[in-house]
Amino acid sequence: MLTGSIGAPFAFLLAVLGIVVPLLLIASRAKSVQRLAIALILAASFAGCLVAVFGFRRQPGTVVDLSRATPFPFSFDVDRLSALFLLLVCSVAIPVTMFAAPYFDRHYSEQRRNWTWAFFSLFLLSMIVVVTASTGFAFLAGWELMTLVSAGLILIEGESAERRHNVFIYLLMMHAGAAAVAACFFLFLPFSHSLDFGAIRAAGAIVPPGIRTAVFLLAFVGFGAKAGIIPLHLWLPRAHPIAPSPVSALMSGVMLKTAVYGFVRFSFDFLGGGPAWWGYVVLLAGAVSGLLGVLYAIGEHDLKRLLAYHSVENIGIIYLGLGTSLIFLACHAPLLAALALIAALLHTFNHALFKSLLFLGAGAISSATATVDLEDLGGLQSRMPVTGTAFLIACCSIVGLPLFNGFISEWLTFRSFLAGSALTNAKAQIVLPLMVGVLALIGGLAAACFVKAFGVAFLGRPRSTEAEHAVEVPLPMRSGMALLAAACLFIGILPGLFLRPLASLVQGLIPGAGVPEETLSIARIMPWIAVIVLGTGAFAALFKRRKRMARTWACGLPGLSTRMQYTSTVFSKPIRFVFARIYRPDRTVERLPVDQPYFPASISYRSVRTTSYERALYRPFVDLIVSLAHRLRRLQTGNIQVYLLYIFLALVSLLAFLRFQR
Amino acid sequence: MNITADILQVLALILGAPLVRGIIARMKAVLQRRRGASIWRPYAELFKLLRKEDLVPPTSSAVFRLAPIVLFGATACTAAFVPLVHASALLGSYGDFFLLVYLLALGRFFLSLGALDGGSAFGGMGASREALVSSLAEAPFLLGLVALAISASRADIAGIVAWTLGQNIFNISVVHILAFTSLAMVALAETGRMPVDNPATHLELTMIHEGMVLEYSGPSLALIEWASAIKLHVMLALLIALFCPWGMVSTWSGLGITLAVLLYCAKAAVLMILLSVIESAVAKLRMYLVPDFLGVASAVSALAVIFTMWVRR
């Protein structure tokens, strides 16, 4: 059943997360049992990290086969790609669990807390199953469990009608996506005769081009729905903000990455790349998601919604890298394809780190002030210094500033765009370098957005009494955030330790690829940049030893009130003004009484950003389905004879079909 | 020997930066028929500010004091990327232009945060406007540099300079003209010059950079001013190095160096005259015309990238 020395810890991990922890929590509500469960989750995650690291070194790696216990082939295999994503899931799970322990204690009653932890453990398990499965059945089982358990975690938080509606949309889109993913697997079946990944990989070469294209498009849509590329992102800004913050951290930081994993598995591992237009489709999806994602994020003042839209943006950046890699692959440039794929995978990992940190930060804010509306925050940096510093590091990382991890992956993406100019293909030669401009615009807008998010929430003066009386969160929450922040800085300053294994991973996916020169040069330069910037900064700090408190200049008035500060909405106004075409807000101004426009007794102003996707894309589709359903309703007469007739007709047609088929 | 030359170059860029500001201010004064201050005045100002104490608003956090330090560190680091008289730079061969642009962004990010930390409306106003300008300026900045990198088929700045040195001055292509146009426009926006921002204003309707630094004083203000002077000098040196590097030396000889320094000063003087003429002749753009200005720069730089297709062969 188990092969390889790492099989045992991997089986331990599956058993603990899947069986022991949920059973323990259901069996007893004692506080000590809950502590034990948390400790077990931490231990399992740590074991997962070890399995990932050792499994990466020892290839071909661990296989755990459970087929005897299940009706379908059900086995796990930690190859290099799986190891990377296993490391991603488990290394994010540790700090999130540390954070969640006091967070759930504060927010939930005892009974709910037990359910939450049980679901939390199953959620981790489902993601681990997805990224390590080596049969289609195991993959789909994990995929389905992941959707259901995360929906359950959202519903534990509350059950208002709006929440249920959002969860409904989430489930609907996830299942549409899951159907597409399942179809991908089944399309291989006539050629591979089994859903084992090895067989599918072997069949990848003999599948006819038409089926290949169908598989690619289905994978693109199916995984795209999970990843939240525009216009399939509809569920994302609805579902992520309403989940409890540690769960949002896992959903945004880790769950979206399983979609990236699936897409890479299909398009690179199984299909081995395809025609160039695949790459352009992915590139276009990435550019649109990146730009629109960041623009929508700027318009938000609910911190968690803002972060959710930034997930759309970052998935866009990852898809930009994946698309570039597919284009290079189609142009027979394996080295450059490797560079772009390394960029995409590293950004996937980086995004998992900083996005989960950002959501934990939002959770810390909401647990200290009971709100995540930026307009009610302010001045939290001096009240919650550790949270603030960790959040600041995450902001710098997501913006892609040097010395932080986001920069490394964005830099690699930039360089792979630039390398596109070396191709002989005229279209790629123009399109890829121009994508530098798109990514630069995304980066610039993201910087603007996070100046706003951090500046309004943590700097200046508090805008509400809750923010004024905020106190720092307890130690486990702080240390969870500090761990993630340290990881962001570590990858940002010493990227070499991470890029070398990534290069060897990518060599396995792209035959004939060497180690791209760019990965070596960035690894060489970043420590020096860190030394120079920090050294010069330390030198500059020598001048600033004396300080004196003095009130902020108030233009000679007695003092400033907190309402004189820029708010989040005002801060983003210039950008929203420039990009007004994209937002298309619905504005209504009502002046009362109507006959006195210049001296109104009351004015009410309402501005709602139109959800143009819903109107243009989803509404006609939904209407079609509903009208079809109405028509089909005529079949349901409620008359038993009619139903007997249906059965009879079905039987006859089935028999006729069988007769004529032969 | 090369390392020494490169370190000297970096120091010259950093220490000479206030002088560039002083000269531009003086040129503007002459153009506007004023007598103007001495060209050494920025140094005197820096010394004065550095000796004073830091005034800190009681409601601010550590970020307020950290921001000028990060800004200075990041901006000073960009000075190590640009060749001045010696055709290489300290970080010229490993560090490419993406790193340079993003180091500038790092400084700007922290300065904007510092501005918001002051807790006044001016800081927010400056930071908000800076966010608009800089987010739109990044794309043309990088695209202009990409066009040059494609023509040189190198990504490091020293490599691009070395390639340009090997070209004939009359061999200038349309790519270079387009790239220069867009980079010059971006340089105006990046360094907060007319017609995007007015460095001399203290009126809340018009200020961007000045709004952000309004709450700063003493050594913090000195670091910010020095950093923005370095930024101006780096942009100037970058334009010279990328578009007119002829005269730079690659070997170490007394006569060659002297000549190269003199040539650099002459080229810088031409650019500074150009800048002061623009600043004296052009009115500041309305805030919402700045995106159009940067949109033109973006379009020009995109054209530059597209034209590399035909120029290369």
What is the ipTM score, two decimals?
0.94
Q: For a pLDDT cut of 90, what percent of chain A falls above it?
A: 48
Q: Can you tell me the distance from the alpha carbon of A499 to that of B222, in angstroms, rounded to the nearest whole number?
A: 39
A557 CA: distance to closest CA in chain B (Å): 12
Q: Can you tell me the distance from the alpha carbon of B123 to that of A41, in angstroms, rounded to the nearest whole number?
A: 46
Pairing of strands A75-77, A602-609: unpaired
Residues A305-358: pLDDT tens digits? 999 999 999 999 999 999 999 999 999 899 999 999 999 999 999 999 999 999
Burial letters A527-548, b for 16+ CB under 10 A, else e = eebbebbbebbeebbebbeeee
B120 CA: distance to closest CA in chain A (Å): 5
- Asked if the model's pLDDT at residue A2 lies above 60, the reply is no
Which of B112, B128, B218 has the CB atom closest to A574's CB atom? B128
Residues A540-580: pLDDT tens digits? 888 877 888 888 877 777 777 777 888 888 899 889 888 88
CB contact under 8 A, B103 and A571: no
Residue A521's Cβ-side half-sphere holds a number of Cα atoms within 13 Å equal to 17
Q: What is the pLDDT of residue A59?
A: 67
Q: Are A430 and B310 in contact (CB under 8 A)?
A: no
What are the extents of the domains in chain B? 2-311
Which of B105, B117, B122 has the CB atom closest to A460's CB atom? B117
Residues 162-201 of B with CB under 8 A from A: none
With cut-offs at 50, 70 and 90, classify the pLDDT of residue A174: very high
- Partners of residue A577 in chain B, C-beta under 8 Å: 288
Please name the residue ranges forming H helices in chain B. 2-31, 41-51, 62-78, 97-117, 121-152, 157-165, 174-190, 209-212, 218-243, 254-281, 290-311
Q: What is the pLDDT of residue A613?
A: 66
- Partners of residue B229 in chain A, C-beta under 8 Å: none
CB contact under 8 A, B215 and A396: no
CB contact under 8 A, A547 and B65: yes
Question: Per-residue pLDDT averaged across B158-173, rounded?
Answer: 83
CB contact under 8 A, B56 and A547: yes
A631 CA: distance to closest CA in chain B (Å): 52
Residues A105-130: pLDDT tens digits? 888 887 788 888 989 999 999 999 99
Question: Per-residue pLDDT averaged across A418-441, rounded?
Answer: 90
Residues A280-308: pLDDT tens digits? 999 999 999 999 999 999 988 899 999 99
- Partners of residue B99 in chain A, C-beta under 8 Å: 402, 411, 525, 529
- Partners of residue B54 in chain A, C-beta under 8 Å: 544, 546-548
B116 CA: distance to closest CA in chain A (Å): 6
Q: Which residue has the tokens 């190198």?
A: B154
| C-alpha separations of A417 from A279, A313, A325, A524, B142 in Å | 13, 18, 10, 21, 12
Q: What is the pLDDT of residue B311?
A: 76
Residues 560-599 of A with CB under 8 A from B: 560, 562, 564-566, 570-575, 577-578
The nearest alpha carbon in chain A to B49 belongs to: A543
Residues 248-287 of B with CB under 8 A from A: 287
Q: What is the pLDDT of residue B1?
A: 60
Residues A210-233: pLDDT tens digits? 999 999 999 999 999 999 898 888
Amino acid identity of residue A159, one-letter, is E
For residue B246, how many other CB atoms are within 10 A of its CB?
Answer: 12
With cut-offs at 50, 70 and 90, classify the pLDDT of residue A62: low
CB contact under 8 A, A566 and B135: no
Rounded to two decimals, what is the model's pTM?
Answer: 0.93
Question: Per-residue pLDDT averaged across A588-597, rounded?
Answer: 78
Q: What is the pLDDT of residue A46?
A: 92
Question: Per-residue pLDDT averaged across B206-224, rounded?
Answer: 88
Mean per-residue pLDDT over chain A, rounded? 88
With cut-offs at 50, 70 and 90, classify the pLDDT of residue A662: low
Q: What is the pLDDT of residue A483?
A: 94
Q: Can you tell me the distance from the alpha carbon of A28 to that of A22, in angstroms, rounded to the nearest whole number?
A: 10
Question: Per-residue pLDDT averaged across A519-531, rounded?
Answer: 89
Q: Can you tell me the distance from the alpha carbon of B38 to that of B22, in angstroms, rounded to the nearest whole number?
A: 7
CB contact under 8 A, A565 and B120: yes
Q: Can you tell me the distance from the alpha carbon of A122 to that of A250, in angstroms, rounded to the nearest whole number?
A: 12
- Partners of residue A553 in chain B, C-beta under 8 Å: 120, 122, 214-215
Would an 8 Å CB–CB cutoff place A392 in contact with chain B? Answer: yes
Residues B114-131: pLDDT tens digits? 999 988 888 888 999 999
Mean per-residue pLDDT over chain B, rounded? 89
Q: For a pLDDT cut of 90, what percent of chain B falls above it?
A: 51
Q: What is the pLDDT of residue A141?
A: 92
CB contact under 8 A, B105 and A532: no
User: Which residues are bridge partners to A65 per DSSP?
Assistant: A75
Question: Per-residue pLDDT averaged across A24-48, rounded?
Answer: 87
Residue B176 tokens read as: 């270079």
- Asked if the model's pLDDT at residue A205 lies above 60, the reply is yes
Which of B56, B146, B301 has the CB atom closest to A418's CB atom? B146
- Partners of residue B67 in chain A, C-beta under 8 Å: none
With cut-offs at 50, 70 and 90, classify the pLDDT of residue B273: very high
What DSSP assignment string belongs to A584-635?
Answer: -EEEEEEEESTT-SSS-SEEEEEEEE--HHIIIIIHHHHHHHHHHHHHHGGG
- Give the SS3 label for residue A65: strand
Residue A3 phi, psi dihedral angles, 5° rounding: -130, 155
Residues A152-171: pLDDT tens digits? 999 888 778 888 988 998 99
Q: What is the pLDDT of residue A11?
A: 83
Q: Can you tell me the distance from the alpha carbon of B25 to that of B45, in angstroms, rounded to the nearest whole number?
A: 14
Q: Can you tell me the distance from the alpha carbon of A165 to that of A205, in angstroms, rounded to the nearest whole number?
A: 44
Would an 8 Å CB–CB cutoff place B79 in contact with chain A? Answer: no
- Asked if the model's pLDDT at residue A520 lies above 50, the reply is yes
Burial letters A214-248, b for 16+ CB under 10 A, else e = ebbebbbbbbbbbbbbbbbbbbbbbbbbbbbbbbb
Q: Are B110 and A404 in contact (CB under 8 A)?
A: no
- Residue among A454, A282, A288 at smallest CA distance from A361: A454
- Asked if the model's pLDDT at residue B48 lies above 90, the reply is yes
Q: What is the pLDDT of residue A1?
A: 42
Q: Which residues contact B206 (CB under 8 A, 6 or more apart)?
A: B197, B198, B284
A176 CA: distance to closest CA in chain B (Å): 37
The nearest alpha carbon in chain B to A401 belongs to: B106
Q: What is the pLDDT of residue A63?
A: 73
What DSSP assignment string belongs to A75-95?
Answer: EEE--HHHHHHHHHHHHHHHH
Residues 291-310 of B with CB under 8 A from A: 291, 298, 301-302, 305-306, 308-309
Which of A441, A536, A544 has the CB atom closest to B77's CB atom? A536
